[in-house]
Structure 1
Amino acid sequence: IYAEKKRHMKRVLLGAVAVLLACELYFWLFGNSLRALVLGTVVFFTAFNLLEASLPSLISKVAPAGGKGTAMGVYSTSQFLGAALGGILGGWLFQHYSLSGVFLGCAAMALLWLVFAVTMREPPYVTSLRLPLSAAALHEVGLAERLQAVPGVADAVVVRDEAAIYIKVDTQQLDRMSLERLIEAAPATC
């Protein structure tokens, strides 16, 4: 909620990844006591759950208006492939380098993620809308381009098969009534 309301998504993402990295190093150094494992696990899963909630939101923000479903499908597939490959890699590290090797391997992956995340641009703070289109508006040439000229509209895609338009908007800048009037003002004939 903080990341969305205050528009600090990148900062929160970087913080969560840094906490994961710190937890892996903590487990590597102090993972021999039950108390340390419990404390580390609570902190680790706090950061993990934050990422689990914020990454899909981040993906939907950066995906184009007409490609959100595809982007989420790729994300979901990557997530499950990562879980499978992570288990295989973790098992290999444990077999060859013991538990310390697993923690150091995970710390290396978290560090790599942090390096890439630092270079990431701040994501756009947009919300996706799906608005139905009348038959006249559906065939209007240039409707998506005119809508993109409305302040607060970041992207617009007409999907004729669904008789709808998908729009990404910044709700703090958008005048929703102007947007809806523009859609309704489509000429009756094409």
Structure 2
Amino acid sequence: MSLSLIFSIRMFGLFIVLPVISLYARKMPGSDPFWLGLALGGYGLTQALFQVPFGMLSDKLGRKPVIAMGLIIFFLGSVVAAEAHSVETLFLGRLLQGAGAIASVIIALMADLTREEVRTRAMAGIGMSIGLAFAMGMIVGPIVGAHWDVSVLFWMTAALSLLSLVILFAVVPNPQGAVQKNEMELSIDQLGYVLRVPSLLRMDLSVFVLHSSLTAVFVSFPILLSSYMPEKAMWHVYLPVILSGLVLMVPGMIYAEKKKKLKQTFLFSILLIIVSFLIFLSGYTNKVGLIAGLTIFFIGFNLLEPLMPSIMTRFVRTKTRGTSSGVFNMSQFLGAFVGGSAGGYLVSISDKVLFGGLLILSVVWFLVSLGLTDPNHLQIFERELGAEVNDPSPICRQVGAMTGVIDCRYLEKTKTLWVKYLKTDLSSDDLNRKLESLIANSPAQ
């Protein structure tokens, strides 16, 4: 819970300025749409660049010292952004905020502190905390920014980072023994495999496009909306829009999981994103069109946020879990940076070009996603080996190399071979025949 709280505080500090930073930055000397986009998405670039180095550093120095270092860097970035009097300095502050890239280290520490049986629940807790931080940031940001000043939001994030330091050392337990590399960490050795799995690549593309779109929309949307209402009243729009997405998110996920409609719900959510950009494109010149477009966008966005990691983890091998998650997270942060910078460039031409470009991008995303392997085709095969074999490792490796096998593990406690496979490529009879052959050639206990 304490680690989830640190994670959510960290993300809240990034999300809280999202709906208002373009309004703030456009008043600064030297501001133009491109610099607005850089200031909005700049944190994503350094987040992506420093995830792996921070993870590797935590192996040598320990998790807590590296998390503390990241929080201090985030604190300094928040102070720089709060005191910025030019858009270039604001951009520098955002880069510094992102450079405190502690997400992978927090996840690694979570893995160090949890048993395997409860680790999935622990990671789900982090996911829920991020969703809550996003919702709170989108609601609190416009209220505080309008009644005081956006610089106050950056001072808030600075104070919250110091609070996180207190929680880190006063509440978070210390892992027992030396730090060990674990399956939740990103491994360069496993990167080649992860980048060859089509389903994982489609999820990486999906999170990249979704967060590119989110950042690009907020380069333009607050400025367009300010033509129809004062800044201090914008929370009246953001609150119902965000809540509508959150209210539909839970039943949407329950339906997708219980009815085994993950792929269909995923594609439907992308269609909602496409529809939102059609509405934006035709209605960005009026208040109703803007609010309708943002509402549909956030319904799709809030459905996709839990769906994408849920689908991604189904196609992950146990040994590549951390690497797959790392690439997925880096794709998200790179998307935020590209969305901000490209969105700023496109909006400098016109808002119509921006929304038209996002529409084309989302259509391409939908077409690529049509080829996603349906997670419902995944099956689990288990067979107790007992005393039949002396060393199950070679058998697991050879079964894991079969076409259609996603993951193969030997469960020591139950002496069982556990295989996740695609029923479109294999059957349980195929696996049994393969095992019989391998067991026959394996030395007995």
SS at match of 2:375: coil
Map residues 15-94 of structure 1 onto 2, 5 A cutoff.
15-94=268-347
Distance 1:74 1:104 in 2: 28
Is 2:317–2:406's contact at 8 Å kept on the other side of the alignment? no
Is 1:24–1:103's contact at 8 Å kept on the other side of the alignment? yes
Distance 1:65 1:79 in 2: 22
Is 1:21–1:110's contact at 8 Å kept on the other side of the alignment? yes
| Gap change, CA 1:77 and 1:64, over 3 Å in 2 | same
Is 2:407–2:419's contact at 8 Å kept on the other side of the alignment? yes
SS at match of 2:408: strand
- Aligned counterpart, 2:202: none
Residue 372 (structure 2) pairs with residue 120 (structure 1):
yes
* Greater mean alpha carbon deviation, residues 33-42 or residues 108-117: 33-42
Structure 2: state its 5+ residue gaps.
1-253, 381-388, 422-443
Is 1:61–1:127's contact at 8 Å kept on the other side of the alignment? no
- Cα shift at 1:157: 3.0
CA displacement, residues 141-181 of structure 1 (integer Å, 9 cap, x when unaligned): 55747998xxxx96323599xxxx98759xxxxxxxxxxxx
Structure 1: state its 5+ residue gaps.
129-136, 170-188
- Cα shift at 1:138: 10
Counterpart amino acid of residue 5 in structure 1: K
Bigger helix fraction: 2
- Cα shift at 1:101: 0.7
| Gap change, CA 1:74 and 1:54, over 3 Å in 2 | same
Distance 2:327 2:376 in 1: 20
- Cα shift at 1:70: 1.0
Counterpart amino acid of residue 340 in structure 2: G
- Cα shift at 1:114: 0.5
Distance 2:305 2:367 in 1: 19
Distance 1:93 1:18 in 2: 23
Is 1:61–1:125's contact at 8 Å kept on the other side of the alignment? no
- Aligned counterpart, 2:50: none
SS at match of 1:83: helix
Distance 1:99 1:146 in 2: 55
- Cα shift at 1:57: 0.8
CA displacement, residues 112-137 of structure 1 (integer Å, 9 cap, x when unaligned): 00010112221247699xxxxxxxx9
SS at match of 1:157: strand
Distance 2:393 2:295 in 1: 55
- Cα shift at 1:65: 2.7
Is 1:23–1:44's contact at 8 Å kept on the other side of the alignment? yes
- Aligned counterpart, 2:258: 5
Counterpart amino acid of residue 330 in structure 2: T
Is 2:272–2:299's contact at 8 Å kept on the other side of the alignment? no
Distance 2:327 2:391 in 1: 31
- Cα shift at 1:63: 1.5
| Gap change, CA 1:74 and 1:103, over 3 Å in 2 | same
| Gap change, CA 1:108 and 1:157, over 3 Å in 2 | same
CA RMSD after TM alignment:
3.3
Counterpart amino acid of residue 291 in structure 2: V
- Aligned counterpart, 2:37: none
| Gap change, CA 1:167 and 1:77, over 3 Å in 2 | farther
Distance 2:366 2:390 in 1: 44
Distance 2:323 2:289 in 1: 41
Map residues 38-187 of structure 1 onto 2, 5 A cutoff.
38-96=291-349, 98-124=350-376, 140-141=392-393, 144=396, 155-157=407-409
- Aligned counterpart, 1:184: none
SS at match of 2:407: strand
Bigger strand fraction: 1
SS at match of 1:155: strand
Is 1:7–1:125's contact at 8 Å kept on the other side of the alignment? no
Distance 1:141 1:118 in 2: 36
| Gap change, CA 1:4 and 1:33, over 3 Å in 2 | same
Counterpart amino acid of residue 75 in structure 1: F
TM-score (norm 2): 0.31
| Gap change, CA 1:146 and 1:105, over 3 Å in 2 | closer
